[in-house]
């Protein structure tokens, strides 16, 4: 059972399932592959995740997951229309937290996708 304060999970869009990171194999460690992209393109590469492993008080997007915010961004980019206040619409704290580091990727245990 998922507990946002103690667990961290990744979502596989191919399987439509959540998986605990401790139940998956590391596919790609944290790298700086995002460092030279504009922030919106960095966010496109962020995996859908939720939970914060009890490390601190979690942010709202860590509890419910990053999926809706990332889906909103992807919809804007698909239409080639990025609102002027996109950072505020997604939440400045979210954008900062997601783009200040590169995220490790894990192998989905069902379909082997990198999530």
The rounded distance, in Å, linking the Cα atoms of 80 and 74 is 9
Residue 113, in any domain of the structure: no
Residue 112, in any domain of the structure: no
Q: Are 65 and 47 in contact (CB under 8 A)?
A: no
List alpha helices for 1-115, DSSP H: 39-44, 60-64, 67-78, 86-90, 92-99
State pLDDT tens for residues 58-75.
788 888 899 999 999 999
Residue 2, in any domain of the structure: no
**pTM: predicted TM-score of the whole model, two decimal places:** 0.86
Q: Predicted confidence band at 88 (pLDDT cuts at 50, 70, 90)?
A: very high
State pLDDT tens for residues 31-54.
655 557 899 999 998 999 999 877
Percent of the chain's residues with pLDDT above 70 = 94
Q: Are 106 and 13 in contact (CB under 8 A)?
A: no
Residue ranges making up the domain that contains 56: 9-107
Residue 38, in any domain of the structure: yes
Query: Domain tally for the chain?
Result: 1
């Amino acid at each position: 059972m998922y507990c946002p304060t103690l667990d961290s999970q990744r979502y596989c869009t191919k399987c439509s399932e959540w998986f605990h990171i401790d139940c998956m194999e590391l596919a790609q460690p944290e790298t700086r592959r995002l460092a030279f992209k504009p922030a919106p393109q960095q966010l496109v590469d962020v995996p859908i995740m939720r939970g914060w492993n009890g490390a601190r008080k979690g942010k709202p997007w860590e509890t419910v997951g990053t999926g809706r915010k990332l889906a909103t961004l992807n919809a804007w980019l698909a239409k080639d229309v990025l609102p002027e206040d996109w950072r505020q619409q997604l939440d400045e704290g979210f954008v900062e937290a997601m783009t200040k580091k590169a995220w490790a990727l894990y192998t989905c245990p069902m379909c082997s996708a990198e999530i």
